[in-house]
Amino acid sequence: MEDKKILFSAVQPSGILTLGNYLGALRNFTALQNDFNGIFALADLHTLTVKQEPAVLRQNTYELTALYLACGIDPEKSILFAQSHVSAHAELSWILNTITYPGELSRMTQFKDKSRNHEDNINMGLMDYPVLMAADILLYQTELVPVGADQKQHLELARDIAIRFNNRYGETFKVPEAYISKSTARIMSLSEPDRKMSKSDANLNAFISMNDDKDTVIKKFKRAVTDSDNSVVFDPENKPGISNLLSIYCAVTGKTVKEAENEFSGKGYGDFKLAVGEAVSSVIEPIRLKKNDLLKNKDYLDDVLSIGASKAERLAYRTLGKVYKKVGLVPRKRV
C-alpha cells in the first residue's frame, strides 16, 4: 500500500442503500480513495445479527459490491471485500471480547434500539456487534473511520479497547480517529423530515433508493412533506421539509443554499420539487444503470471480492499475528 493514512469503512449489505447513504458516505469514499489507503468492507457478518433470508443476503452482497463499483470505488486503488471472506475479523473479535466488559456493551444505544425493534431475536450478536466492529477497524491499523452520529459511540468503544489492549500487552494497535467530512449533508426522511432517511422505513415514499428510476424519484419528491407556506427558504426549525429538500438539491448540484433560494425565489413548491427530483435523478440514474450492468457479470464481482479479500488478509493477519504473540498463544508450526 502507498504511504498514506489508512481509512476503513464497513457497510452492511442489508438492502439497497438510500440517497442519504450515497451523499453521506459512498460519494465521499470515491474522493477519499485518492487521498487515503481506502479499505472498504461489506459487513455481512454484522448483518446476521438480524434474521436474514440467505438468498436475499447473498443478492444484497452482490448488489452492494456492484453499487460501490458503480459509484467509483476503484479496486486498483482501494481494497473492497466481504467481511466474512477474511476470518481474522472473527478471530480478533474473540480476543477483544476478553478485555471488553458486559456493562460497556449493554449501554450501547444501538443494542437498546435493536433489542426493542427485534424482540423475537435478541441474540448475543446484537450485544457483541461493537466488539466485532472494533476488530474490523483495529485489524488494519486504521487511522481514520468515516462515521455518522449513530456510530460515534461504537468508534469510542473501539478506541477504548485499543488503548486497553495496548496498556495491558504493549503497543499493538493504532488508536483510530473519526473522519467527519465537512461537506456531508444530513439527509432526512421525505415524509417525516425530523427523522433521518432510512432504507428500513416502512413508507417507501420516505426515502430515495439507489434503485429508484427517474420516474419514481420525481414522484417521491412530488409527494415530499413541506408546509402551508410557498416560499423556498432554508429554515430547519419552521420549515424542516423545505430545508431538507434544499439540502438535497445543494448536495447534488454543488450550489450554495443562498444560490438555491435565489433560483427559486417567487416560484412555487411544485416547480421546486420537480427541480429537486430532476437534479437527484441526473446523479443516481447513471449509477443505477451501471450497477445493473455490473450485476450481469457475477464472475467479475466474485473476482473483485476475491482479490480484495486476499489483499485484506495480508494486512489483517500481520496484525493478528502480533496480537496472538502478545497474549501468549503458541504460534502454529507450518508443515
Question: Catalytic residues, which ones?
Answer: 114, 196, 199
Taking alpha carbons only, the member of 312, 254, 303 closest to residue 283 is 254
The set of residues, in sequence order, having a beta carbon less than 8 Å from that of 114 and lying 6+ positions away, is: 49, 50, 126
- 99 phi/psi in degrees, rounded to 5: -120, 15
Taking alpha carbons only, the member of 148, 285, 293 closest to residue 210 is 285
> Contact, 81 vs 311, CB < 8 A?
yes
Cell matching residue 319? 496484525
Taking alpha carbons only, the member of 50, 45, 44 closest to residue 111 is 50
Q: Which residue has the cell 420539487?
A: 273
Alpha helices in 98-151 (DSSP H): 102-106, 109-117, 124-138
> Contact, 121 vs 74, CB < 8 A?
no
User: How far is the C-alpha of 14 from the C-alpha of 199, rounded, in Å?
Assistant: 9
| C-alpha to C-alpha distances, 66 to 61, 149, 299, 312, nearest whole angstrom | 9, 26, 12, 19
In DSSP terms, which residues pair with 7 in a beta bridge? 38, 144
Taking alpha carbons only, the member of 187, 203, 198, 214 closest to residue 280 is 214
